[in-house]
C-alpha cells in the first residue's frame, strides 16, 4: 500500500532496541521456569533449553526482518504468507491466528494473571478462572472504548515488567546460596527437550513484531538487524539471569512445585514479605500490560479478514464503532473464543497450543526468504539477513524440531491445531464463492 511506504522514518537504533525488548518480555519469564525444569528434569538441560530457544528466536527475528522489509505491507504474518504462497495459505494463516493463536494467548495470560492475583490476596485456588475471565472482559471493554486508553495502559505497564526482572536477577545472583548447575528438578517419566524449548518460545514470543517497524526506521537496513540482535541478546541474558537467580534462591524441586508462583516466592525470600509483595505487584503489572497489548492488537487480524469478506459474519466482525472508532466486532470475537478456552484448558496447555498453531506458518515465512531471493523481485539495497543461508536454516530447523516434538509428546494439542486449520479450507471456499457471486451480481 502507498500509505505503508510513506510512514515517517523517525525511529532510531536505541528506540528500536527498546521496542524489541518491550515487545518480547511479557509473562513467560515468570510463568515458565518451573515448566522447563519439569520437562528437562535437570537444571543444566533447563538452562540449555532457554539458550536454544533464544538462538531460534534470534535467527527467526533476523530472518523475518528481511521478509518484512521486502513486503512493506500491513498485516504481518498473514500478509507475508498471502504474498508469497497465495490467498489460500494466507487465509489459513489468518484463520489459525483468529481461532487458535490469538484467543489461546489471551486466555493463557488471563489465567496466569488470575492465578497470581489469587495467590497475592490468598483467595481460593479455584477463583483464578473467575479473576482471569473478569480481567479479560475488563481489558476488552477498555480497549473498545478507545485505543488511546489501551495505549496508556500499555505504556504504564512497560516499566512494571522490567523492575522485577532486574531486581530478582541481581539480588538472586548476589544473595542466593543454593546449587545452580547439575541439579535434579524432579523425577520425569521421559525427558522432553522439545516441550521445554516450546515453553521457552512462549517467553520469547513477540519477536514476530520486531520487523514491523521497518517502515518507520531511520536507515532500516542498518538499524533493524542491530536492534534485533541487541534487543534479543539483552532478553536472552535477562532470561538466563532470572533462571539462574531462581535456582540460586530456591531448590529446583521447589521451583517446579511452585509453578507460576516461583518468582514471587523468590522475591519474598530476597526482600522480605513487604518487598516480595511489591515485586509481586510488578509481576502482575507486567502480565496485565502484556494481556492488554494482546487484546489491543490481535483483533486486527480477524478485522482485516472480515473487511475482505473472508469470515462468516463479515459485516459484524468488520464493524467499527461509529463513535469510538474501534473494531468492536472483532474484539468481541477474539475475547469470546478466549473465554471458552479459559474454561476448558489450563494456561500451560494454551501456551503450547498457541505456539504450535503458528509454527507451520512461521516456518513458511522463514523459507520465504529463499523464494524471494530466487525470484529476485526486490531491491538489492534492502536489508539482508546476516550469515545467509545459515540463519534462516537455523530458524527453519528449530521450527521443524518444535513441530515434530509436539506431534510426538503432545499429539492431542497438535491434532486439535491441525483440525482447526483444515476446517478453515471449506470456510475459505464458501466465502470465496460467496464473494465471487456478489461480485458477479454487481457487474450484471
The residue ranges of every structural domain in the chain are 13-439
Mean pLDDT, the chain, integer: 83
pTM over 0.85, yes/no: no
Tens digits of per-residue pLDDT, 277-319?
888 888 888 888 788 878 877 888 888 888 888 888 878 888 8
> CA 264, CA 314: separation in Å to the nearest integer?
44
* pLDDT band, residue 103 (cuts 50/70/90): very high
Query: What is the predicted pLDDT for the residue at 159?
Result: 64
Lowest-pLDDT range, 21-35, 179-193, 225-239, 328-342?
A: 179-193
Tens digits of per-residue pLDDT, 131-144?
999 999 999 988 78
* pLDDT band, residue 380 (cuts 50/70/90): low
Please say if the pLDDT value at position 2 is more than 50.
no
With H, G, I as helix, E, B as strand and everything else as coil, classify residue 217.
strand
Query: What is the predicted pLDDT for the residue at 3?
Result: 42
Just give the CATH number of 13-439: 1.20.1740.10
- C-alpha distances (whole Å) from 66 to each of 119, 173, 231, 244 are 44, 38, 17, 34
Element (H, E) at 435: helix 411-443
Residue in the structure block whose three cell numbers are 545472583: 173
Query: What is the predicted pLDDT for the residue at 41?
Result: 87
Q: What is the percent of the chain with per-residue pLDDT over 90, rounded to a whole number?
A: 30
Tens digits of per-residue pLDDT, 193-242?
888 998 899 889 877 765 555 555 677 667 777 788 888 888 899 899 99
* pLDDT band, residue 156 (cuts 50/70/90): low
Query: What is the predicted pLDDT for the residue at 424?
Result: 92
Query: What is the predicted pLDDT for the residue at 7?
Result: 43
Query: What is the predicted pLDDT for the residue at 442?
Result: 52
More confident residue, 394 or 325: 394
* pLDDT band, residue 164 (cuts 50/70/90): confident
Residue in the structure block whose three cell numbers are 486439535: 416
Residues in the chain: 444
For residues 236 and 58, is the Cβ–Cβ distance under 8 A?
yes
> CA 42, CA 188: separation in Å to the nearest integer?
10
- Overall average pLDDT of the 136-162 stretch: 69
Tens digits of per-residue pLDDT, 342-372?
999 999 889 888 888 899 899 999 999 999 8
> CA 279, CA 281: separation in Å to the nearest integer?
5
- C-alpha distances (whole Å) from 354 to each of 19, 30, 100, 349 are 23, 18, 6, 9
Query: What is the predicted pLDDT for the residue at 246?
Result: 93
Please say if the pLDDT value at position 405 is more than 60.
yes
> CA 167, CA 164: separation in Å to the nearest integer?
5
Please say if the pLDDT value at position 395 is more than 80.
yes
Element (H, E) at 86: none
Amino acid at each position: 500500500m502507498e500509505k505503508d511506504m510513506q510512514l515517517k522514518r523517525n525511529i532510531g537504533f536505541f528506540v528500536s532496541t527498546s521496542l524489541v525488548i518491550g515487545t518480547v518480555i511479557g509473562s513467560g519469564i515468570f510463568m515458565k521456569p518451573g515448566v522447563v525444569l519439569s520437562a528437562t528434569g535437570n537444571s543444566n538441560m533447563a538452562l540449555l533449553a532457554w539458550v536454544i530457544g533464544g538462538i531460534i528466536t534470534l535467527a527467526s527475528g533476523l530472518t523475518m526482518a528481511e521478509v518484512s522489509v521486502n513486503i512493506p505491507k500491513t498485516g504481518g504474518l498473514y500478509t507475508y504468507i498471502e504474498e508469497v504462497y497465495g490467498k489460500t495459505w494466507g487465509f489459513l494463516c489468518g484463520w489459525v491466528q483468529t481461532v487458535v493463536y490469538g484467543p489461546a494467548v489471551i486466555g493463557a495470560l488471563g489465567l496466569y494473571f488470575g492465578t497470581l492475583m489469587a495467590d497475592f490476596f490468598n483467595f481460593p485456588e479455584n477463583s483464578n478462572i473467575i479473576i482471569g475471565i473478569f480481567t479479560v472482559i475488563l481489558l476488552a471493554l477498555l480497549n473498545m472504548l478507545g485505543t488511546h486508553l489501551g495505549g496508556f495502559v500499555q505504556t504504564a505497564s512497560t516499566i512494571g515488567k522490567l523492575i522485577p526482572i532486574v531486581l530478582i536477577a541481581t539480588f538472586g545472583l548476589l544473595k542466593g546460596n543454593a546449587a545452580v548447575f547439575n541439579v535434579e528438578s524432579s523425577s520425569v517419566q521421559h525427558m522432553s527437550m522439545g516441550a521445554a524449548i516450546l515453553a521457552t518460545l512462549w517467553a520469547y514470543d513477540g519477536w514476530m513484531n520486531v520487523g514491523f517497524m521497518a517502515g518507520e526506521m531511520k536507515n532500516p537496513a542498518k538499524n533493524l538487524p542491530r536492534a534485533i540482535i541487541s534487543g534479543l541478546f539483552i532478553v536472552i541474558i535477562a532470561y538466563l539471569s532470572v533462571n539462574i537467580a531462581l535456582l540460586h534462591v530456591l531448590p529446583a524441586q521447589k521451583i517446579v512445585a511452585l509453578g507460576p508462583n516461583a518468582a514471587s516466592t523468590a522475591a519474598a525470600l530476597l526482600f522480605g514479605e513487604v518487598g516480595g509483595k511489591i515485586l509481586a505487584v510488578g509481576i502482575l503489572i507486567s502480565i496485565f500490560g502484556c494481556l492488554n497489548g494482546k487484546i489491543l492488537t490481535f483483533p486486527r487480524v480477524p478485522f482485516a479478514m472480515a473487511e475482505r469478506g473472508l469470515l462468516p459474519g463479515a459485516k459484524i466482525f468488520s464493524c467499527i464503532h461509529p463513535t469510538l472508532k474501534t473494531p468492536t466486532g472483532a474484539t468481541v470475537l477474539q475475547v469470546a473464543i478466549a473465554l471458552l478456552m479459559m474454561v476448558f484448558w489450563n494456561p500451560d496447555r494454551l501456551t503450547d497450543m498457541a505456539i504450535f498453531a503458528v509454527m507451520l506458518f512461521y516456518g513458511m515465512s522463514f523459507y520465504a526468504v529463499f523464494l524471494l531471493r530466487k525470484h529476485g523481485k526486490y531491491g538489492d539495497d534492502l536489508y539482508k539477513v546476516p550469515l545467509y543461508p545459515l540463519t534462516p536454516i537455523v530458524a527453519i530447523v528449530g521450527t521443524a524440531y518444535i513441530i515434530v516434538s509436539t506431534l510426538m509428546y503432545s499429539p492431542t494439542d497438535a491434532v486439535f491445531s491441525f483440525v482447526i486449520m483444515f476446517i478453515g479450507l471449506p470456510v475459505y471456499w464458501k466465502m470465496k464463492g460467496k464473494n465471487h457471486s456478489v461480485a458477479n451480481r454487481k457487474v450484471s
